[in-house]
């Protein structure tokens, strides 16, 4: 099967070191997200020698309080990559939510100024706030990763031109299936979120994308088989790149 895609994989946290070689051998286009600017260098070094892996610069919202001092490093590195992630907001009830929001606003404004960035964004229990910060005229490409918000917020994201990357965990829950079914086919992308997401009691990776496509075909009525699903998803990715 051609044109496999993983838009959200934590390469630096994968426990087995040969995964980058397997990604290359399998020809799976992979966005390797990072959680802090200080670990971006390791992933960027791997991606520099790769045809299929691209390193993304991140500052995870769950590390906002602990790593807010790394924001200047983030800004310094921003021009070195088109890919940004993992960034976003996590759980509006968290005690550090205002710190998260301050960092997120700074990052979104900097990416808007750059205009050509592709962002993979975390929005768990903060979907409205994430969409409010980004706005409806963002001059880059937004991917809401593992979206778990309401159908109303999903529709707002669609109207704003956002894309949505889905994974095995979403496809294996009733709420996740409803969201997957509601995503327009031209906004659908695939991700593993490995090693945090598991399938068949094994951590997911880009190598899990064939089985994810099989699951998507079973969940959605508009994807007749894995080849059609793969072609549609990769066409969406090409549109993001252009």
Say how many CA atoms lie within 13 Å of 133 toward its Cβ. 24
Residue 145, annotated as binding a ligand: yes
Q: What is the pLDDT of residues 126-175, one digit of tens each?
A: 999 999 999 999 999 999 999 999 999 999 999 999 999 999 999 999 99
Backbone angles phi, psi at 189, to 5 degrees: -135, 165
What whole-number distance in Å separates Cα of residue 237 and Cα of residue 197? Answer: 22
Residue 2 has what pLDDT?
65
Residue 60 marked ligand-binding: no
Residue (of 219, 204, 242) closest to 4 by Cα position: 204
Q: Is the pLDDT of residue 1 over 60?
A: no
Neighbours of 220 (CB within 10 A): 18
**What CATH class does 4-241 carry?**
alpha beta
Q: Look at residue 122 and give its three-state secondary structure.
A: strand
86 in a labelled binding site: yes
Can you give the pLDDT at residue 17?
79
Residue 28 bridge partners (DSSP):
4
Per-residue 3-state assignment (H helix, E strand, C coil) for 126-183: CHHHHHHHHCCCCCCEEEEECCCCCHHHHHHHHHCCCEEEECHHHHCCHHHHHHHHHC
**Paired residues of 30 in beta bridges:** 6, 53
Distance CA 170, CA 159 (A): 22
Tens of pLDDT, residues 191-242 = 999 999 999 999 999 999 999 999 999 999 999 999 999 999 999 999 999 9
8: annotated binding-site residue? yes
pLDDT by residue (tens digit) across 29-64? Answer: 999 999 999 999 999 999 998 999 999 999 999 999
Please indicate if the annotation marks 70 as binding a ligand: no
The closest of 176, 120, 129 to 151, measured between CA atoms, is: 176
Least confident of 1-10, 80-89, 119-128, 171-180: 1-10
Q: What pLDDT, on a 0 to 100 scale, did the predictor assign at position 49?
A: 87
Supply the pLDDT for residue 168: 98
104 and 88 Cβ atoms separated by less than 8 Å: yes
Enter the tokens of residue 154: 């999903």
Number of H helices, E strands in the chain: 11, 10
């Amino acid at each position: 099967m051609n044109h496999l895609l993983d838009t959200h994989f934590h390469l630096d946290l994968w426990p087995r070191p040969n995964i980058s070689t397997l990604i290359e051998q399998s020809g799976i286009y992979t966005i390797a997200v990072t959680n802090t600017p200080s670990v971006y260098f390791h992933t960027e070094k791997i991606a520099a020698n790769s045809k299929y892996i691209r390193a993304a610069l991140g500052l995870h919202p769950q590390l906002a309080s602990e790593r807010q001092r790394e924001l200047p490093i983030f800004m310094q590195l921003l021009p070195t990559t088109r890919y940004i992630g993992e960034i976003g907001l996590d759980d509006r009830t968290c005690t550090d939510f205002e710190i998260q929001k301050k960092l997120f606003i700074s990052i979104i404004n900097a990416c808007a100024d750059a205009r050509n960035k592709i962002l993979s964004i975390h929005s768990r229990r903060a979907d409205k706030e994430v969409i409010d910060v980004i706005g409806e005229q963002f001059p880059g490409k937004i991917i809401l990763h593992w979206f778990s918000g309401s159908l109303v917020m999903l529709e707002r994201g669609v109207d704003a031109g956002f894309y949505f990357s889905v994974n095995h965990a979403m496809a294996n829950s009733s709420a996740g299936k409803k969201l997957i079914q509601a995503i327009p086919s031209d906004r659908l992308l695939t991700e593993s979120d490995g090693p945090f997401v598991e399938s068949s009691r094994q951590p997911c990776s880009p190598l899990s994308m064939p089985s994810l496509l099989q699951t998507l075909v079973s969940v959605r009525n508009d994807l007749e088989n894995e080849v059609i699903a793969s072609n549609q998803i990769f066409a969406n990715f090409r549109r993001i790149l252009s």
